[in-house]
Amino acid sequence: MRRVLRAAIAAVTLTGAGTVAAGTPAHAALPGWGRPTVTAAVPQPGAPGLGDTYFPDYGNGGYDVEHYDVRLRYDPDTDRLTGTTTILARATQDLSRFNLDFLLEVESVRVNGWAATTSTEGAHELVVTPSRTITRGQQLTIVVRYAGVPSETLVDGYTGWTRTDDGALAVNEPESAWWWFPSNDHPLDKATFDVSVSVPTGVEVISNGVQPRPPLAEAGNRTRWSWRTTSPTATYLAFMAIGQYDIVTDTAPNGQPVVNAYSTSLGELAPAARASIERTAEIVEWESTVFGPYPFEAQGGVAGPVDGITFALETQTRPVYGPGFWRRGSNTSVVVHENAHQWFGDSVSVARWQDIWLNEGFASYAEWLWSEEQGEGTAQELFDFTYASYPEDSPFWQVRPGDPGPTRVFDDAVYDRGAMTLHQLRLAVGDDAFFAILPAWTAAHRHGNGTIAEFQALAEQISGLDLDDFFTTWLFTAGRPDVSGSAARKAAPPVEPKSWAKIREAHRLLAH
C-alpha cells in the first residue's frame, strides 16, 4: 500500500503535540512507561501521542479502546457525513483529560453519560476534558457526535478521504480514521468494530467483516447498511466504500463468508478485476498453508471506482483495490500481496511505523512465493532479476528497509529490497527453518503487534543461527549487499521471470 500524506503533516502535528504536552513528560502516560502509582496520584492528561518514532503524536495515551460503534449518515450528493461514534475503552491511568485523533466538527462528547468539554490542538487532536476525573482501570463509554464534509476537511491541504462520482472511499494508510470516526489512531490500540451507515436507497456500503443483518429500509427512502468485525482491528484497517457496487457473496472452502464488491464504474476493467478478486478464497487457502491459519472471520475484496484510489490497501478481511491493477488484464500478484497482509500487517501489526518492512517485505515476498507456486518464475529467479534491475549506484540501495524514514515508509526499497531480504534469509537458514519461521511468527503475535527485533530473535531461535550481521546488512545498512555466492548467475544477465511484469506493475502502484 502506499502512503500519500507527507512528512509535512508530521512536522505540523509535532508542533501541535508540543503544545498539548506542555509540562507532561512525553511518555509518562503510557502503560509500561509511567511510574507505578504508589502515592496518591494527581490525575494527569493522557499523552497526545504514543511516542511512535516516526509519527510521535499518532494515537493517544491514557486509555485502551476495546470497541468502536460507528453509526453514520452519508449523502453522496454533498459528501456530508454526520454521525455518532460510541467508544468503549478502559483507562490505563488516572486521567484529568485525554485526546482522540479526529478532524470533523464535534457537536458533543459525553463520557459515561456526563457532558465533557472539548478543544482542538495540533493538526488532528481532539482534547476531551470530562466533568469528572477518571481513575485507572475505569470503564469508559465515550459518545462523540459530529458532522462534516470529509473531502473538504484538510490537513496541510490534504484529505485521506476520497470522494468519488457516486460516493466515497475511507481507505488510506496510515491516516484514514481522522475523517470518519474519532479514535486512538495507532496500530498499538486495536479494537473491534460495528459500522452502520445510512445512505440513499440504491447506494451500497461495504466495510469490514460480516453483515450482522441485511440492509434495512429507513424512512426518507434511505437504507442502513451494517457491518461487524469481531477480530481486533487497527484503526487504519477499518474502511468504508460507498457508491454503486455489484456485490458478490459466496462461501470459502474453509466455510467463511466471502463478500466481493465491484464498482459499476469499472466498465471494461470489470472482467479483469473479477478474474483477480474472485480468486481470493483460493489465494487465502494457499497462503494459509504457508503462513498459518487465516486470522480473521471473513474474506473478500473491493474493486474501487475509476475515479477513486490509485493504490490498494489491505483493509482487514477485505482489501480495496484501485482500478490501475486491471488496466493490463488480471493481476493476482496484488491479490496475493493484500491478502498476505492479513497475516503480516493486519493480524501481526507494526508496533511502530518504522518497522513497516514487517508488512511490505513479507507481502511482497508472498508474491514471489505465489509465482513459484504457479510456475511463473521461482523466488530465486525473481531475486536475481530484481537485484539486477537496480544498478549498484541506484538511489534505491540508499534506503534502508529497516529504517526508511517517515517520508519513505512506502519506498520501493521497503517492498523490493524487503522481499530480497526474506529470500536471502531463506537461503541463510534453509527452507525447513524458513517455512517454520513464517507460521511461528504469525502465531506468536496473532492479533497483536511485532517488531523487527522480535522477528530476528524468533528467526535466530528457530534456525539456531546468529543473524545479527545478516539483518544489519540487509535492513539497516545503505548500499547494495554483496551476493557473491550467486557469482555464477552474474555471468549472464538474468532472464525475466514470467510473473515479473505483473509484480512490477503492482509495486509501481503500491510503492511510492
**Gap between the terminal Cα atoms of the chain:** 9
Contact present, 208 and 233 (Cβ < 8 Å): yes
What is d(CA 315, CA 345) in angstroms, rounded to the nearest whole number? 10
Contacts of 296 (CB under 8 A, 6+ apart): 209, 229, 231, 316, 317, 342, 346, 347
Tell me whether residue 311 or residue 471 sits nearer to Zn ion (CB atom). Answer: 311
Number of residues that this document lists for the chain: 512
At residue 471, the 3 state secondary structure works out as: helix
Handedness of CA 56, 60, 65, 71 (dihedral sign): negative
**Least separation, in Å, of the C-beta of 356 and Zn ion?**
9
What is d(CA 245, CA 171) in angstroms, rounded to the nearest whole number? 16
**Least separation, in Å, of the C-beta of 413 and Zn ion?**
14
| List of residues contacting Zn ion (CB under 5 A) | 1, 360, 363
Tell me whether residue 132 or residue 508 sits nearer to Zn ion (CB atom). Answer: 508
Helix or strand run (H / E) with residue 432: helix 431-444
**Least separation, in Å, of the C-beta of 215 and Zn ion?**
31
Contacts of 428 (CB under 8 A, 6+ apart): 463, 465, 467, 470
**Least separation, in Å, of the C-beta of 312 and Zn ion?**
8
Tell me whether residue 153 or residue 233 sits nearer to Zn ion (CB atom). Answer: 233
**Least separation, in Å, of the C-beta of 152 and Zn ion?**
29
**Least separation, in Å, of the C-beta of 317 and Zn ion?**
16
**Least separation, in Å, of the C-beta of 360 and Zn ion?**
5
**Least separation, in Å, of the C-beta of 510 and Zn ion?**
5
Contact present, 128 and 118 (Cβ < 8 Å): yes
**Least separation, in Å, of the C-beta of 4 and Zn ion?**
14
At residue 134, the 3 state secondary structure works out as: strand
**Least separation, in Å, of the C-beta of 1 and Zn ion?**
4
Give 374: exposed, middle or buried? Use CB within 10 Å, 0-12, 13-18, 19+: middle
Tell me whether residue 1 or residue 65 sits nearer to Zn ion (CB atom). Answer: 1
At residue 251, the 3 state secondary structure works out as: strand
Report cis status (omega within 30 of 0) of the bond before 174.
yes
Residues β-bridged to residue 424? none
| CB-side neighbour CA atoms (13 Å) of 270 | 13
**Least separation, in Å, of the C-beta of 328 and Zn ion?**
20
CA distances from 486 to 425, 427, 482 (A): 14, 11, 9
Tell me whether residue 1 or residue 277 sits nearer to Zn ion (CB atom). Answer: 1
Q: What is the DSSP letter of 48?
A: S
What is d(CA 185, CA 238) in angstroms, rounded to the nearest whole number? 11
What is d(CA 50, CA 58) in angstroms, rounded to the nearest whole number? 6
Using the structure block, give the residue that is written with the C-alpha cell 490525575.
Answer: 43
Give 143: exposed, middle or buried? Use CB within 10 Å, 0-12, 13-18, 19+: middle
Tell me whether residue 360 or residue 376 sits nearer to Zn ion (CB atom). Answer: 360
